[in-house]
Amino acid sequence: MHLCNTKDNHYVPRFYLKSFLDKKLYIHYFDKKTQKYYSTQNLKEIAFKTNLYTITNKINEIDIMLFKELFKLSLSSELEKNFLSWLKAFLNDELKNLFTLEHKKDKEIENKINEVLRNLLNEPDFSRNQELLFTFYENKFQPIYNKIIETEKLSLETCNAEDATISYLAYRTLAFIAKMMAKKMSLITKENKLSDINFSSPVGSDFESDDYLDLVHYLIVQYFRTSKRIDIGRLIEPLANKIKEITGKSATSNNIMFLLIHMQSLNIVDKLIQSKYLLILVKNRTKKPFITSDNPVINVYAKLIENFEIQKFEMFFPITPNLGILYTEDSSSYSNFNKNEMELIVEDENLIEYFNKLIFSEADRHVFGSSLESLSQ
């Protein structure tokens, strides 16, 4: 029994792509591989890859070792240790590793339940649970996204001090993982008629929402979750081969990227917050619309990772043909920036063309727009 059986993973949300439809509800796109233009009303057929997020080789201790080595992680706090162990168990769909069940009155029932759970909760083949985490992140982002489009404002409520960034994001994610694990255990015990056991979440789930952190976290996750970014996991292969020579065990590059997306992204968000990065709403007041792509969040300097370290970094994300989000440490290079409103009014088509060329360049294969004309470079 799997919590998720989704094979076709949309790495760009359909609710986001809807913002780039024309009046007849078509989205237009250019295929960099075929050098042809297309139009469709079916958003299900674009920006997805089959089994992109499926764990086919379970995350193992070698993957964990390599992940920690690449990012120089000591994992000294209990929160970090718990987050990594719970994340690994959830992505692998090996939930029994985190639970010990006891029956106060009947040891026979207890033993029977645990035997069934050992067989059913530690799935031997593959796991598609990761899709649930991306859906969770999207569900946190979508109402923020809708509000920004509706109001054309970045009026984001924040409840956390800067030093609470990782704690908030980690506990929020752990609460979701715990909820899903409890759901699966309840379904399995019910299906096998083991006992009327109610599983409650081991992690508290009452968190005040923090729109600012949720938005910044989503930008980082969306940057890494695409097919193009996950493929850069090949950069770790030389180090993985050295570890294999020593231990005789293999690491899986995709697994390292998955750990990066869900765990190291929290550290990246924290570093950017501490570096006083600014969230700026870009308002396109020209006749030239923003375009987007199958890799919609870009680093203006084109290299977020070089040897897995953050280099010079400025993030841009077109959210509609007329609006975009800029996340930057230095706004001085942009004229017409209003610091009080945290918005950049653009009336020069050259700047829109600059952003569009970056989007086009960073696209993996497909570039999307509200018209065919907007896609021409």
**For residue 70, what pLDDT is reported?**
84
**For residue 192, what pLDDT is reported?**
61
DSSP per position, 54-120 = -BSS---HHHHHHHHHHTT----SHHHHHHHHHHHHHHHTBGGGG-----SS-HHHHHHHHHHHHHH
Burial (CB < 10 A; 0-12, 13-18, 19+), residue 309, is: exposed
Dihedral angle at the C-alpha atoms of 102, 108, 111, 117, nearest 10 degrees? -90
Does residue 126 contact residue 161 with C-beta atoms inside 8 Å?
no
Select from 193, 252, 256 the least CA-distant residue to 224.
256
DSSP per position, 124-159 = SS-B-THHHHHHHHHHHHHHHHHHHHHH--------
**What's the whole-model pTM score?**
0.89
**For residue 304, what pLDDT is reported?**
43
CA-atom Rg of the chain in angstroms? 22
175: helix, strand or coil:
helix
What letter would DSSP give residue 306?
Answer: E
Which structure tokens are listed for 197?
């056991």
The H-assigned helical ranges of 192-321 are 211-224, 227-230, 237-247, 253-259, 265-274
Distant-in-sequence, close-in-space partners of 99: CB < 8 Å, separation ≥ 6? 117, 121, 181, 185
Does residue 334 contact residue 259 with C-beta atoms inside 8 Å?
no
Print pLDDT tens along the chain (377 aa): 678 889 999 999 999 999 999 999 999 999 999 999 999 999 999 999 999 999 988 999 889 988 998 888 888 888 899 899 999 989 998 876 665 556 556 677 667 766 766 666 565 568 999 999 999 999 999 999 999 999 999 988 776 655 678 889 999 999 899 888 878 777 776 666 655 554 444 555 556 789 999 999 999 999 999 998 888 767 777 777 777 777 777 788 899 999 999 999 999 999 999 889 999 999 999 999 999 999 999 998 865 444 455 567 899 999 999 999 999 998 888 888 998 899 999 999 999 999 999 999 999 999 999 999 999 86
> At 88, phi and psi to the nearest 5?
-60, -45
Beta bridge partners of 337: 344
What is the rounded distance in angstroms from the CA atom of residue 313 to the CA atom of residue 345?
Answer: 22
Look at strands 8-10 and 48-50 and give their pairing.
Answer: antiparallel
> At 326, phi and psi to the nearest 5?
-115, 130
Which structure tokens are listed for 259?
């750990």
**For residue 191, what pLDDT is reported?**
67
What is the rounded distance in angstroms from the CA atom of residue 37 to the CA atom of residue 203?
Answer: 49
165: helix, strand or coil:
helix
225: helix, strand or coil:
coil
**For residue 25, what pLDDT is reported?**
97
